[in-house]
Structure 1
Amino acid sequence: MKISIDKSILWKSLDQISKVISTKNIIPILSEILFEVNGSGLSMVGGDGTVFLKSTIDPEDFQLLRSGSITIPGRRLIEIVKKLKDVIDISADGHQIVIKSGRSKFEMSGMDAEEYPKMELELGQVVSVSGQVLKELVTKTIFATYTKEDAPILTGLRITLTENGIEATGTDRHRLSKTAEKIEDGFDFTTVVGSGSLNELVKIIPDKEKVSISFYKDRFIVQTKKFVFSSRVLEGAYPDVDRITPTQFNSIVTVKTQDFIDALKGVNIIASEQKTNLVKMIVGEEVELSSESDQGKANEFLEIIKMDGEGFKLSFNAKFALSALESIDCEETTINFVGRLDPIVFKGVGNETDFHLMLPYRTEV
């Protein structure tokens, strides 16, 4: 194998792959990046066993001097390419690799390309969405997923597909976030994808480009013009979250989203000194937020734009509330109240597909 390629072109692909290659080296070859080059182009594959990413470079974007394949130590290659400038020459004879650029020269050993795990790319049913839509599905919900390993299924996002929509749901048992987007030519399918995999995916998805999403057996595959992302899905039964989701409310209060965020950040200065991040909310002619700790107290007040129903009192986790509110991209937010011990719901006004639920604290307000 021998190629000559501009650093900027090579780096764009390597930077994507750097997000998914293994750092633990449990399986040595997973710390490598697979290079395969021929007249059809250059492909590079990296992964950690659960997630794999294949990035491709068109033949007109580099000079092919000799076809072939090899694996190259991933982290070392990334650091080398980051340092180099201009045109980079990469050659491999057997397992010996030489990388040159100007007067810089690096030599190292790779591994047999045949030993690298095969990336499963068999596609099932496919839908297409914009990169921005997929990003928003993830970023508006992923913060609500569970972070401990005692309930693995909750560490992922539930992706639900219907004939005309795609929905993402995240929950850690104490809060829930859900959002949906309309699509065309959908079908009925549900899977759960690990939040770690999706966090890496959103870093590389182009906003304006169409992406194809494939749901196939135990894989979740996203494909663009330049890369293919494949992640193993999580096994197990996702909880029936619709059962705990209220649909009718005794009080609905409308406030300005940014004002609510600012007020919560104020009281959270004190609330964050406690493990529970507890904030008390009293709704009457205005919204009063308060918190206290051994070191002090805080009070903030929020103007009500509209209220349907009577005033109420409850306590909740300020950190959870801030995560939900900061994902709402509407100027106004509704606070939806059933009862003091029932879930409280935040929704953006004008965007009913975004839905954020929290369980309140059982305290005397």
Structure 2
Amino acid sequence: MERSALLRAMSRAQSVVERRNTIPILSNVLIEADGDAVSFRATDLDIEVIDRATAMVSRAGATTVPAHTLHEIARKLPDGAMVELSDDGPNQRLDVRAGRSHFSLQTLPREDFPMMASAEYQVGFSCPAPTLRRLFDKAKFAISTEETRYYLNGVYMHAATGPDGPVLRCVATDGHRLARIDAPLPEGAEGLPGVIVPRKTVGELRKLLDDDEAKIAVSVSETKIRFATPDITLTSKVIDGTFPDYARVIPTGNTRRLEVDASEFAQAVDRVATVSSERSRAVKLALEDDRLILSVNAPDSGAADEELAVAYADERLEIGFNAKYLLEIAGQVDRENAVFLFNSAGDPTLMREGNDETAVYVVMPMRV
């Protein structure tokens, strides 16, 4: 098979395989050759990825070899090289040949390789790659890293009712900020049970979504989710927990409206935050009469402020935020303008892109 196909398959496999494994077989990739294709399967017992590539198969067979080692070999072989994999049965080795290079890798029995039980999927639908990419990309920054609140360690995907009808919705929150992203509900997704897709799975899924023309077949049960293209299948357990009632924390009565150029705002926040102490990184926003003054006052390291021309016509407001949270939310805006809706200095703030309500963000203020 061609080196590029092997490298692509092994890149996906080795990113699923954990570096430190107490169970040796979990460090390996299962290679199965049959017909005119070879498949590479890797798992960490929570996620399983299968990558299929076209190959000239002279004899069908299967074996397992260390995933990271085979990935490194593929990475270091010259571009365009043809790679031959052959099972050296009696010695329990896999021979890898490319040009004048020859490697012999230790194998483990294929029978020991754990297969993820195929669940009975309740719901199946097809979704364009760009739609899924937007849903997960815009939500994932708000995933919690706090292991104790494990039910927040992923993106909650479910069918919901949006302002204009049924939607496929992704939500993530860590208690300090929240992202709620909507897309039109695909045909067949009406009965979708709400599932929490783990952070690592979201990262692996991203690699399937780069092809704008791809259609992703999504299958969901209460315990598993599967994303598939003709060449790749990614199956994952979902987080066994209840996602909180996020609708309660999305403010509906915020009337003070600030409209600002998103990239100018992000750059200004980044500049003034340079002097703040890393621990809190609090930035104060002072608003009145189409003016926004961003300021940081860090007694131990200095102070900074910057003024921006904005659209703001409400009464004067001073409110503080964690700079990192502001930067992450502003970084989600694809259009020019970000709209912030405030209530008071102590209440959650809503942010969206212009008047688009398919992407809504909430951020909790800080005392400054």
Aligned residue identity for 2:296: S
CA distance in 2, matches of 1:278, 1:162: 35
Paired with 2:208 and 2:22, the residues of 1 have a C-alpha distance of 26
2:51 and 2:40 map into 1 onto residues whose CA distance is 5
Question: Is the 1:219–1:232 Cα contact (8 Å) retained in structure 2?
Answer: yes
Over the residues paired in the alignment, what is the CA RMSD in angstroms? 1.6
CA distance in 1, matches of 2:38, 2:122: 25
User: Residue 103 in 1 paired to residue 100 in 2?
Assistant: yes
Matches within 5 A, 1:71-110: 71-85=64-78, 86-94=81-89, 95-110=92-107
The separation in 2 between residues aligned to 1:211 and 1:148, in whole angstroms, is 30
In structure 2, distance between residues paired with 1:253 and 1:40: 59
Q: Which moved more, 1:163-172 or 1:333-342?
A: 163-172
Q: Which residue of 2 aligns with 1:297?
A: 303
1:159 aligned partner: 157
Would you say how many aligned residue pairs link Structure 1 and Structure 2? 354
2:33 alignment partner, SS class: strand
How far residue 308 of structure 1 moved from its aligned partner, in angstroms, is 5.1
User: For the residues of structure 1 that align with 2:106 and 2:313, how far apart are their CA atoms?
Assistant: 70
Instruction: Say whether residues 1:361 and 2:350 are aligned partners.
Output: no
The structure-2 alpha-carbon separation of the partners of 1:248 and 1:308, relative to structure 1 and needing over 3 Å to count, comes to farther
Residue 217 of structure 1 and its aligned partner are, at CA, apart by 2.8
Q: Which residue of 2 aligns with 1:195?
A: 199
Q: Which letter does structure 1 place at the counterpart of 2:73?
A: I
**Aligned AA (1:187):** E
| Aligned-partner residue type, residue 92 of structure 1 | D
Task: Say if 1:329 and 1:348, in contact at 8 Å, map to a contact too.
Answer: yes
Q: Deviations over 1:130-155 (max 9, x none)?
A: 11211111111111111121111111
Contact 1:120–1:230 (Cα < 8 Å) also in 2: no
Q: How far did residue 162 of structure 1 move?
A: 4.2
Matches within 5 A, 1:2-17: 5-17=1-13
Per-residue deviation, 1:339: 1.4
> Which AA in structure 2 matches 1:70?
T
Give the whole-Å Cα distance in 2 for the aligned partners of 1:228 and 1:284.
53
1:1-365 to 2 correspondences below 5 Å: 5-39=1-35, 41-57=37-53, 61-85=54-78, 86-94=81-89, 95-122=92-119, 123-162=121-160, 164-185=166-187, 186-188=189-191, 189-208=193-212, 209-271=214-276, 273-285=277-289, 286-293=291-298, 294-305=300-311, 307=312, 309-363=314-368
Amino acid at match of 2:124: V
Whole-Å separation in 2 of the counterparts to 1:198 and 1:82:
24
Tell whether the 8 Å contact from 1:121 to 1:230 is kept in structure 2 after alignment.
Answer: no
Amino acid at match of 1:89: E
Hey, what's the Cα distance between the residues in 2 that align with 1:159 and 1:361?
Answer: 29
CA-to-partner distance for each residue in 1:233-285, whole Å, 9 max, x for gaps?
101121112112111213111111111111111111122x2411101111002
The percent of aligned pairs where both chains have the same amino acid is 26
The one-character-per-residue Cα deviations of 1:206-227 (angstroms, maximum 9, x if unpaired) are: 3311101111131111001110
Alignment check: 8 A CA contact 1:251 1:311 kept: no
Aligned-partner SS, 2:186: coil
1:72 partner SS: strand
* 292 and 203 in structure 1: CA distance in 2 versus 1, 3 angstrom threshold: farther
- How far apart, CA to CA, are the structure 2 residues paired with 1:334 and 1:76? 49
TM-score, with length taken from structure 2: 0.92
Write the distance in 1 (CA, Å) between the matches of 2:190 and 2:117.
22
Alpha-carbon distance, 1:187 to partner: 1.3
Corresponding residue SS for 1:81:
helix
Q: Write the deviation string for residues 78-115 of structure 1: whole angstroms up to 9, x where unpaired.
A: 11122223111111133221111122111122111121
Deviation (angstroms), 1:291: 0.1
- For residues 19 and 133 of structure 1, what CA distance do their matches in structure 2 show? 24
The whole-number CA distance in structure 2 between the counterparts of 1:236 and 1:299 is: 44
Runs of at least 5 residues in structure 1 that lack an aligned partner in the other structure: none
